[in-house]
Amino acid sequence: MKQGNTIVIDPVTRIEGHSKITLHLNEDGRVEEARFHVTQFRGFEKFCEGRPFYEMPSLMARICGICPVSHLIASAKACDSLLAVRIPPTADKLRRIFGLAQVLQSHALSLFYLSSPDLLLGMDADPAKSNLFGVAEKNPELARDGIRLRQFGQQIIERLGGKRIHPAWIVPGGVSEPLTATNRDAILDALPEALSIVERTLEWFKSTMENFREEIASFGNFPTMFMGIVKQDNGLTFYDGKLRIVDASGKVVADALDPTRYSDYIGEKVEPWSYMKSAYYKPLGFPDGVYRVGPLARLNVADRCGTPLADQELAEFHELQRTAVLSSFHYHHARLIEMLYCVERMERLLNDAEILSLHVRAVAEPNALEGVGACEAPRGTLFHHYKIDDQGLIRWVNLVIATGHNNLAMNRSILQVAKHFVRGHHLTPGMLNRVEAVIRAYDPCLSCATHALGQMALHIQLLSPGGEVLDQVARG
Amino acid sequence: MPRVLIIAYGNPLRCDDGIGWLVAGELRSRLASPGVSVLQLHQLLPEVAEAVSRVDSAIFVDASRDGEPGEVRCARVTTPSTKASFSHQLSPAEVVGLAQELYGTSPQAFSVSLVGQSFEHGEGLSRSVTARLPHLAARVEGLTKQILSGGPVSLPEVEV
């Protein structure tokens, strides 16, 4: 809808959570400012205060229905730190498998359910058909593959955690139950099919890239830094390691940072127009310290994946650009390479000689009053930071979520897309969809970012210099 | 392969919306048989279409807002004429339609619902609905046995 010189898109569709977008026009009718407003709020950080620390993993998993496992992992790691224990090696490996299964199903949701309509049917497709049903009509194999891959990831989570959503299997000190041989074999039996699906989807995706030259050039294609956790050998990881930051040229600007000291180098700014905080790299200040996290960032900061097929694809990915790969459109490509890595890595872990060990939990009382847990969630780096009192009750919580890290970059991306595609004072479905599509590339989870619950919907507004709403579109 | 798939779904944190979720356990005990499988879900997602495509009959069990609280309502599920635009939450008809479109097969399908009274935030069912939960379970059990017997399925639309 257009009101004055402002375009409003409300709600944004095919993302996780509630948001709206406002586009502000100048006197010439050109877009000069864009804002991504996250309009939901839940406040997990406050209502956890006073709860026993050992409840935190289960409570934190409720933040999100898509990536509860990442919150479980980060929370349990923060609690491991409060206990001051080193968890048994098998528990470490099982947590990694659990996390990889979740990344696989979450990436499948993002790519197949939310973004494949744009990629298969085009950005200008009839909005009524830009959904999974439209995909099913045009390319049923692609839709079936998406469903199968989601099932595959969810079934692993269910086999390990007892249920698909909000499993409570990961606990402070390790995991609550060992892996059985039956479940290991069942997962291993399904891996070849999952691998085939990812490989053919990757080939299909690469074949479509030629159709999106304009989008690749304008979808968040600008210099920023990139941040992610890497292994000690600088390889890709989702579970544990050191933080690494590279700049737009691909040069390492900070390396071997201790994730538990995140607050030394990451600041968070609150804007009055959104419930989502904006993270920035402290040494460069706000907003110059803009950086991106998630699949694109992880592949920009990692030297290698560490598995053969993913490494082959990573080498090809790095050929897209001599510097860091900058266009946020390539988040999709990075997501697919990570799915390949997940399948390969799970196979290796499941074949580990110790994976069926019964020693999966370290038991202790709290030995520290402050703990930080960090991991790579599907959408990027996740920090859980807790302080407790002598009774083990939570006194303070801070959560830094992937989507919050990307907030500044998402706002800039929307502005870039809007400047490129919005013409005059009238909105077309294709323009609206491109503004949404650039957000989808980041796969934001606003339920996580605001620690709030909700469906994703979009609201775009076009505002005049005087603040009058010229046009707006609401969907959801 | 089960001949009958019962999909009991709902949100147990929204009071009576949790009817389907809560009755799933009861249905598992009443209908323990290799020919029957019970899925307990929060909502219907596209993945359900694959499971539905592999059975002869599907029964969707849910709470309903349409009718007098406590009524048990039954209906045949038919493929919708229009398709959903959103993949986060599908209707039973859309699940059946997607099964047909993607897998070339869809079972005969029924919905059995209990009309709820309160859909606010909170756990537990309202008193009038709790009292009717055995009727819902009995209706699903009866329907399942009719299907398994191979005879014609009689479907009274509303039971009060």
Chain B closest-CA separation from residue A130 CA (Å): 7
pLDDT at residue A35 above 90? no
Q: Is the Cβ of B102 closer than 8 Å to some Cβ of chain A?
A: yes
| Residue B62 belongs to domain spanning | 4-159
DSSP type of residue B153: P
Cβ–Cβ < 8 Å for B57, B42: no
Q: Which residues of B touch A143 (CB under 8 A)?
A: 46, 102
Interface of B with A in 52-91 (CB under 8 A): 83-89
Chain A closest-CA separation from residue B153 CA (Å): 31
pLDDT on residue A455: 38
pLDDT on residue A32: 83
Q: Is the peptide bond before A287 cis (omega within 30 degrees of 0)?
A: yes
Facing residue for B102 by CB, picked from A113, A131, A144: A144
Optimal mutation site among B42, B81, B82, B88, interface A, most CBs of chain A within 10 A: B88
d(CA B86, CA B78): 19
pLDDT at residue A84 above 60? yes
* Minimum Cα–Cα distance from A149: chain B residue: B47
A155 token code pair: 């079934």
Cβ–Cβ < 8 Å for A60, A43: no
Mean pLDDT of A53-60: 92
DSSP H or E run through B26: helix B19-30
pLDDT on residue A303: 96
Q: Which residues of B touch A148 (CB under 8 A)?
A: 50
pLDDT at residue A452 above 80? no
Cβ–Cβ < 8 Å for A60, A71: yes
pLDDT in tens, A299-310: 999 999 999 999
Cβ–Cβ < 8 Å for A360, A285: no
Of A325, A332, A304, give the one whose Cα is nearest residue A117. Answer: A332
Q: Is the Cβ of B157 closer than 8 Å to some Cβ of chain A?
A: no
Q: Is the Cβ of A455 closer than 8 Å to some Cβ of chain B?
A: yes
Q: Is the Cβ of A147 closer than 8 Å to some Cβ of chain B?
A: yes
Cβ–Cβ < 8 Å for A21, A6: no
User: At A433, is the pLDDT very low, low, confident or very high (cuts 50, 70, 90)?
Assistant: confident
pLDDT on residue A451: 39
pLDDT on residue A347: 98
d(CA A308, CA B130): 56
Optimal mutation site among A121, A131, A132, interface B, most CBs of chain B within 10 A: A132
pLDDT in tens, B61-98: 999 998 999 999 999 998 766 665 555 678 999 999 99
d(CA A191, CA A196): 9
Facing residue for B88 by CB, picked from A127, A144, A455: A455
CATH code of domain A86-215+350-363:
1.10.645.10
- Least confident span in A121-130, A352-361, B74-83: B74-83
pLDDT in tens, A139-194: 999 999 999 999 999 999 999 988 766 778 999 999 999 999 999 999 999 999 99
pLDDT at residue A267 above 60? yes
> What is the rounded average pLDDT for all residues in chain B?
89
A435 token code pair: 């503004």
CB contact under 8 A, A151 and B50: yes
pLDDT on residue A454: 32
Q: Is the peptide bond before A11 cis (omega within 30 degrees of 0)?
A: yes
Q: Please give the tally of structural domains in chain B.
A: 1
* Minimum Cα–Cα distance from A135: chain B residue: B102
CB contact under 8 A, A131 and B85: yes
Q: Is the Cβ of B103 closer than 8 Å to some Cβ of chain A?
A: yes
Mention every residue, 6+ apart, whose C-beta is less than 8 A from residue A185.
Answer: none
CB contact under 8 A, A131 and B42: no
DSSP string, B48-87: HHHHHHTSSEEEEEEEESSSSTT-EEEEEE---SS--S-S
The 3-state secondary structure of chain A, one letter per residue: CEEECEEEEEECCCCECEEEEEEEECCCCCEEEEEEEECCCCCHHHHCCCCEHHHHHHHHHCCCCCCHHHHHHHHHHHHHHHHCCCCCHHHHHHHHHHHHHHHHHHHHHHHHHHHHHHHHHCCCCCCCCCCHHHHHHHCHHHHHHHHHHHHHHHHHHHHHHCCCCCCCCEECCEECCCCCHHHHHHHHHHHHHHHHHHHHHHHHHHHHHHHHHHHHHHCCCCCCEEEEEECCCCEECCCCCEEEEECCCCCEEEEEECHHHHHHCEEEECCCCCCCCEEEEHHHCCCCCCEECCHHHHHHHCCECCCHHHHHHHHHHHCCCCCCCCCHHHHHHHHHHHHHHHHHHHHHHHCCCCCCCCCCECCCCCCCCEEEEEEEECCEEEEEEEEECCCCEEEEEEEECHHHHCHHHHHHHHHHHHHHHCCCCCCCHHHHHHHHHHHHHHCCEHHHHCCCCCCCEEEEEEECCCCCEEEEEEEC
Mean pLDDT of B27-45: 92
pLDDT on residue A63: 79
Q: Is the Cβ of A139 closer than 8 Å to some Cβ of chain B?
A: no
Percentage of residues in chain A with pLDDT exceeding 90? 66
Number of C-beta neighbours around residue A319 at 10 A? 9
Which class for A421: exposed (0-12), middle (13-18), buried (19 or more C-beta within 10 A)?
buried
pLDDT on residue A432: 79
User: At A233, is the pLDDT very low, low, confident or very high (cuts 50, 70, 90)?
Assistant: very high
Cβ–Cβ < 8 Å for A297, A227: yes
Of A11, A23, A17, give the one whose Cα is nearest residue A425. Answer: A23
Interface of B with A in 13-52 (CB under 8 A): 42, 46-47, 49-50
Mean pLDDT of B130-138: 94
Task: Give me the helix-helix angle, A407-421 and A429-442, nearest 10°.
Answer: 160
d(CA A437, CA A207): 19
Question: β-pairing, A19-25 with A458-463?
Answer: parallel
This prediction has a pTM of 0.88
Q: Which residues of A touch B101 (CB under 8 A)?
A: 133, 136-137, 140
Optimal mutation site among B40, B44, B47, interface A, most CBs of chain A within 10 A: B47
pLDDT on residue B2: 63
pLDDT at residue A273 above 80? no
Cβ–Cβ < 8 Å for A389, A212: no
DSSP type of residue B39: E
ipTM for the predicted complex comes to 0.84
Domain ranges, ordered by start, for chain A: 2-40+405-475, 86-215+350-363
pLDDT in tens, B15-30: 999 999 999 999 999 9
CB contact under 8 A, A147 and B47: yes
A356 Rama sector, left if φ>0, alpha if ψ -120 to 50, beta otherwise: alpha
* Minimum Cα–Cα distance from A17: chain B residue: B88
CB contact under 8 A, B87 and A140: no
pLDDT on residue A7: 72
d(CA B49, CA A144): 10
d(CA A347, CA A337): 16
pLDDT at residue A413 above 60? yes
pLDDT at residue A378 above 60? yes
pLDDT on residue A458: 60
User: At A460, is the pLDDT very low, low, confident or very high (cuts 50, 70, 90)?
Assistant: low
Mean pLDDT of A447-458: 44
* Minimum Cα–Cα distance from B89: chain A residue: A455
Q: CA A246 → CA A223, A230, A287, A302, A305, distances in Å? A: 11, 12, 17, 10, 17
Which of A270-274, A327-331, A437-441 has the highest average model confidence (pLDDT)?
A: A327-331
Write the CATH number for B93: 3.40.50.1450
User: At A450, is the pLDDT very low, low, confident or very high (cuts 50, 70, 90)?
Assistant: very low
A470 token code pair: 């010229």
pLDDT at residue A22 above 90? no
Task: Give me the helix-helix angle, A429-442 and A331-350, nearest 10°.
Answer: 30
pLDDT at residue B158 above 70? no
